[in-house]
Chains A and B, each alone.
Chain A
């Protein structure tokens, strides 16, 4: 390796330099992409468990008919907070953390382009979530109008101002993170790392970052209008003052639909790294994969009203948004087919990251199927706001986004720490997760089809059996995640098994040419790129 010699020298220098830092300097004042990446990931894991504990409250109350544990208002606080914490606290920061860690190493850069902004964009988050979570302890309680914050209901909440400010902070953080990622990818690539040689994960983040910059300001605008409606006598959403409550929904979903793709495109990238590695075969249709991500991102801007089919849109609008939504199934299908084609003719092994990736492909596709069904307007008039929708978005978000994040952690943690995780416990975690997540969410399709509305704390006895099954699945899925925590802790501090630099036999790409763990600054000297070292270095398609 041409760069290896140069590296050793720099490593010593930097590791030395790094010794001088005390805990506060290292973590709070960090400008290092790896340390900040770690902060993001740790924060995300914490939020995952906090958001998960809210979900446990929800499933416990829904365990059987009758109100046993909480008051209805508190139940609504739980559903609202669960969604806000999981979306903005767990999934999005996890992807930013993974991007922080991996993008500079994948494109041959020493660090992120804007390291100080990187520090700020992370450190805003603990404040944002402290503010958000503190509302649960305030008189009047936390937000209880759903994560979608539809007025006029959301205006009845006493904690609206806190939520709005927290959302502003999260938005600022996301936008700064996105700018940093775009700047890094466009400016910091090593010579020879052409755009079309970049790993799919880097591509997916580049496109996601543009989505973030486009839509986070829209969310900020929407919630600011809520704030002024409540406190400054504006009437954006108040029909009595000439406003329109439906306007909020249009603005919100103009953010909201791209937002759901913000939570899945980096996952597509991760899966597109893992499947080729464990199939020992390059990704099938590299350019088609990149193009599919780009077209999904484009389409995500013109489908927002599929969340609003039941608000009474004119016929022409219903038809337009139905067709546009259905169109997304085409590039999504291409991705799934290409993953399967990558496996076909490969030489596969099934370590934990691959198991999660395979489960992702199947279960995300099931979520895509229900998405397609939801896109059919007359059918959506039945499904909308029932548990069918709840099942849909949990298949795409839990077995989609979260499974991809978990897969990425198993895939890259040996690189990050220099230690192998316990394959046995990784597999235990996998099998428990994959079984219980289906016990948890599959019956929710039936509940929705039978007509059970979402966001209700109690239900008719006809819904009892599937709710109980779902709750049991929920508790066990939640408990299974403690295995994950154990595996991570063991790997970081206790594992005796050292990881090699390449870690996985089939791994290709610049990040695997660095030591495990990598030096403090990734590539202080731009690496010499050998196309055959890259996963996609010399593909024609």
Chain B
């Protein structure tokens, strides 16, 4: 997925945000024009993402980085000047002073002002992030060793009763990743894009331009649901249900991985989100809800957590396993 990124936050209102946006664009320019939603070789910076929120971490990152670079140039610059000017070999004689109240106050107060600015920006972003109200759709995400389960809870005000499935590493990646498999990770491709360890058998299919609420939990150990293009990760913790949201603005396939160490195959439980138009999503959902002929009530996981129990009767394999 390629996206300019500039339009999205460039169009945000208010004076200060413009400045911030401009800084962001500047940093964007510095780090190469095309910014992608999925990892690319040589990628140097965060993705601006593809949601109504994902510019927040991106801009914050760029502004904070810019601030650090400027401070760094000043401090390290002063240090290098000192190292050249005040060398004994150049005949420098040490001065006696070891104290200067004025400069000490200055270099305490200026960082405080900079920090307040950064804190203000970050707090504003955090407020947007924490507002999970007004969602048009709910998806329940459950982490297992070592796969994900997605249950569709409701969509546009209507409860969805029996759409839910497990999502695990695709077979080709899985065969390739075995120790000394002799298979080439570079050969694992979908549509020309290398999907080694970033592809699943059944992706999470969601509509764009829809505020989706995720409720995230886990069944065994702690996992973390992380798709960079959405702009956040959220821990999946057994016994805890975390809520968060996204609203994807561009159709596409967005890839991520489990981000919390969860045992031996922690590196092998990717996440794939397939964002489609509302119409396509409605069709897909209808397909899923059609009763499947031989309903196999096979519990796909070892443990029988409440979440699992609720879903066993509705253990439906997705009608078409969308491969990337």
Contacts and interface: CB of A to CB of B under 8 A. Distances in A.
> Do A and B truly interact?
yes
Contacts of B195: 460
Interface in A56-95: 65-73, 76
Interface of B, secondary structure class, is: mixed
Interface in B199-250: 220-222, 224, 226, 228, 231-235, 237-240, 242-243
What band does the interface of chain B fall in when counting residues whose beta carbon is under 8 Å from A?
35 or more
A99 interface: no
A251 interface: no
Given A385-B226, A449-B46, A379 B64 contact: yes
Interface stretch (A2-10, A15-23, A127-135, A331-339): A331-339
Q: Which 4 pairs across A and B sit closest by C-beta, in order of nearness?
A: A239-B239, A456-B267, A541-B99, A312-B242
Interface stretch (B16-24, B147-155, B179-187, B274-282): B179-187
A485 interface: no
B68 A310 contact: no
Contacts of A66: 176-177, 181, 183-185
B43 A152 contact: no
A380 B198 CA distance: 22
Interface string A521-541: 000000000000000000111
A331 B71 CA distance: 15
Contacts of A384: 224, 233, 259
Contact of B177 (A280, A283, A344, A458): A458
Contacts of B310: none
Contacts of A455: 261, 266-267
Contacts of B118: 326, 372, 376
B96 to A, nearest CB: 8
Interface of B: 38-47, 56-57, 60-61, 64-65, 68, 71-72, 75-76, 78-79, 82-83, 86-89, 92-101, 103-104, 107-108, 111-112, 115, 118-119, 121-123, 125-127, 129-130, 176-181, 183-186, 194-198, 220-222, 224, 226, 228, 231-235, 237-240, 242-243, 256-268
A452 B284 CA distance: 31
Given A66-B185, A372-B118, 10 more contacts: A150-B221, A310-B234, A322-B126, A347-B93, A369-B68, A376-B121, A377-B122, A382-B46, A382-B232, A461-B186
Interface of A: 65-73, 76, 144-146, 150, 152-153, 156, 238-240, 243-246, 279-286, 288, 310-312, 315, 318-319, 322-323, 326-327, 329-330, 333-334, 336-337, 340-350, 358, 361-362, 365-366, 369-370, 372-373, 376-379, 381-382, 384-386, 446, 449-466, 506, 539-541
Contacts of B60: 376, 378-379
B82 A346 contact: yes
B43 A449 contact: yes
A460 B232 contact: no
Contacts of B176: 66
B95 A449 contact: no
Given A378-B56, A382-B228, A365 B95 contact: no
Contacts of B99: 284-286, 539-541
Contacts of A457: 267
A381 B129 contact: yes
A152 B222 contact: yes
A312 B123 contact: no
Contacts of A76: 261, 263-264, 266
Contacts of B94: 279-281, 345-347, 506
A462 B226 contact: no
12 contacts: A67-B177, A76-B263, A150-B221, A281-B95, A312-B237, A319-B126, A330-B115, A340-B78, A372-B118, A376-B121, A451-B256, A540-B99
B65 A541 contact: no
Contacts of A240: 238-239
Nearest to A345: B95
